[in-house]
Amino acid sequence: MAEKRDYYEVLGVSKTATDAEIKKAFRQQAKKYHPDIHPGDKECEEKFKEAQEAYAVLSDPDKRRQYDQFGHAAFDGTGGGAGGFDFSGMDMGDIFGDIFGDFFGGGRSSGRRNGPAQGANVRLSVRISFEEAIFGCTKELEFNYKETCSTCGGNGAKPGTSPETCTQCNGTGKVVRQSQSLFGVVQNVTTCPSCGGSGKVVKDKCPTCHGTGYNTKKVRKTVEIPAGIDNGQCVRIREYGEPGINGGPRGDLLVEVIVSGSRDFERQDVNIFSKASISYAIAALGGDIRIKTVDGDIIYTVAPGTQTGTRIRLKGKGVPSTRNKAIRGDHYVTLVVNTPTGLSKEAKEALKKFDTKEMVLFKGVLQEGKDKGVFHIDDVDMTASLVHYCVKGIEVPYIRGHIGANLDMETRKKYVANIVFGALHRTEI
C-alpha cells in the first residue's frame, strides 16, 4: 500500500495554518477534484478522498492535535494516539453546500432574499451586403420590446394587491435539495419552479399584463453597423433586452450581422482577394490593365513576362479595422493569363500549318543572314524558335489594332526591322 502523504501537504497549507485557511484550501481541492465534476476519473476520485481525509483530521482540534503529535500513526492503531479513526461519520454538508453553490451559481440555503438580476439578452439578425460590411451602414430594425406595465408598475399584481413571498423557496428564488453520497451530504441548488427565481408569487394577477409585469409592443431602432464588421459578429445595443428581475437592469439587444457573399471578392480577416484576367500579349509584353476594387476600378501596369498565378498586392485597399477606421488591410489580386480556347479542329490544324511555315521562313532568313555575316547567330534553330515566340506575342494586339493602329505599312516595317536587326546584332556588309 502506498505511503500516505502529509495532510498539510495534501491541502497545501503550513502546519501553523488557521481553521479558515484549512477550510479554504479544502474547498479549492474539493472543487478541483470532486467526482461529480470528473465522472469516471479514478485519479481525481482518489485525490478527492485524500483531501477529504486530510480535512476531516485537520478541521477537528482534537484530531489535529493527535496528528501533530503522532502523525498518521495516531489513527492506524500503531502509535500512541487513539487509533482506528472512522472518517465515514464526518458531516461535510456545510462545506459541500458552499462548493456546490459555486458550481451552480447559488449558495447554501440561508434564507436571504433573492436580489436584483439582469434580464436576458435578446438576439436578432440582419443581412448586409459585402460592400456594406466593408464601409459600414445603418439598418432600421423592428422587434418586440417588453415595457413595464403601467397598470401594476411591473409587479404583475392586480391594483390594490401585492405579490406574496414564495412559500416554496421562502423568497430566496432557489430551492436546495440535499442528498447523501459516499462523500457526505451534497446540496444541489436550483431555481425555484414556483416563482421562477423572483422569490415572489402573484395571487391576483394584473388584468393588463396578466401577471407578467410588462406589455409587449413593436418598436423600431436604427442600428449603426461599423465599417469592417465580419460575418457572424454582433452589434450590442444596451438595455434593449428582457426586463430585469427584482429591479435589476434590462438585458441587451444583440444584433448578429450576416454578410452576403460577393461575385468579385473574397475576404479573410482584413484582407481582400480577387482575380483579374489579362491577355497573353499583355502578359508577355507588359501593359496597363483595369482592376476592380471595393473603392472602384484602378489602372495597374503589368510587368513584361508576367506568368499566370502571379499575385500582386494593392496596399491599403482591404477591409478597415473595426478598432481604427484609418487602418485598412490589403487587396491581393491573382493574375490569370487568358489562353484562346474553343478552336475547331480545322482551325487548330490551320494554325499548326501556319506556325510550321513561319518557322521555315524564319530559319531561312536567319540562316541567310548568318551566312552573309549580317546576323551574329550561334544557333539558328534556337534563335528562330525565340523569334517565333516573340512574334506570337505581338500578333494578337497587332491584329486587334492595339499596336500601330495609326501607322502606315512602311513605318510598321521599319519598327519591326529595327527590333529584329537590333536584337540579332546586325553588322554592315
Domain limits of the chain? 7-90, 122-259, 266-337, 345-423
Residue 368 has a pLDDT of 85
Residue 240 has a pLDDT of 93
pTM (predicted TM-score): 0.52
> How far apart are alpha carbons 94 and 114 in whole angstroms?
21
Confidence check: pLDDT of 256 > 50: yes
Confidence check: pLDDT of 403 > 80: no
Confidence check: pLDDT of 3 > 90: no
Residue 106 has a pLDDT of 43
CATH number of 7-90: 1.10.287.110
Residue 72 has a pLDDT of 79
- Residues ≥6 apart with Cβ < 8 Å to 385: 359
Highest mean pLDDT among 78-82, 99-103, 222-226: 222-226
Segments of 163-202 assigned E as strands: 164-165, 174-181, 184-191, 200-201
Residue 127 has a pLDDT of 96
Residue 279 has a pLDDT of 86
Mean pLDDT of all residues in 376-402? 69
- Hunting for cell 502606315 — which residue is that? 408
Confidence check: pLDDT of 420 > 70: no
Residue 427 has a pLDDT of 55
Residue 1 has a pLDDT of 46
Q: What is the mean pLDDT of the chain?
A: 81
The grid cell for 421 is 536587326
Region of poorest pLDDT, from 195-204, 216-225, 313-322? 195-204
- Report the amino acid identity of residue 341: T
Region of poorest pLDDT, from 169-178, 245-254, 403-412? 403-412
Mean pLDDT of all residues in 361-374? 83
> How far apart are alpha carbons 256 and 234 in whole angstroms?
4
Q: Among 320, 322, 294, which residue's Cα sits nearest to residue 235?
A: 322
Confidence check: pLDDT of 262 > 90: yes
Contact present, 366 and 382 (Cβ < 8 Å) = no
Look up the CATH superfamily of 122-259.
Answer: Heat shock protein DnaJ, cysteine-rich domain (2.10.230.10)
Residue 394 has a pLDDT of 59
CA 262, 267, 271, 274 dihedral sign is: negative
Q: Among 115, 99, 91, which residue's Cα sits nearest to residue 189?
A: 99
Segments of 228-363 assigned E as strands: 234-237, 253-259, 266-268, 271-278, 287-293, 296-302, 311-314, 331-337
Q: Among 128, 153, 152, which residue's Cα sits nearest to residue 139?
A: 128
- Report the amino acid identity of residue 392: K
Residue percentage of the chain with pLDDT more than 70: 78
pLDDT greater at residue 314 or residue 323: 314
Assign 82 a pLDDT band (cuts: 50, 70, 90).
very low
Q: Per-residue pLDDT tens for 140-172? A: 999 999 998 999 988 899 999 999 999 988 888
Q: Among 337, 334, 312, which residue's Cα sits nearest to residue 265?
A: 334
CATH number, domain 266-337, options 2.40.50.140, 3.30.590.10, 3.30.1360.120, 2.60.260.20: 2.60.260.20
Mean pLDDT of all residues in 94-121? 57
> How far apart are alpha carbons 264 and 262 in whole angstroms?
5
What are the φ and ψ backbone dihedral angles of 141, each rounded to 5 degrees? -110, 145
Confidence check: pLDDT of 73 > 90: no
- Report the amino acid identity of residue 346: E
pLDDT greater at residue 8 or residue 70: 8
Mean pLDDT of all residues in 338-364? 76
Region of poorest pLDDT, from 112-126, 254-268, 317-331? 112-126
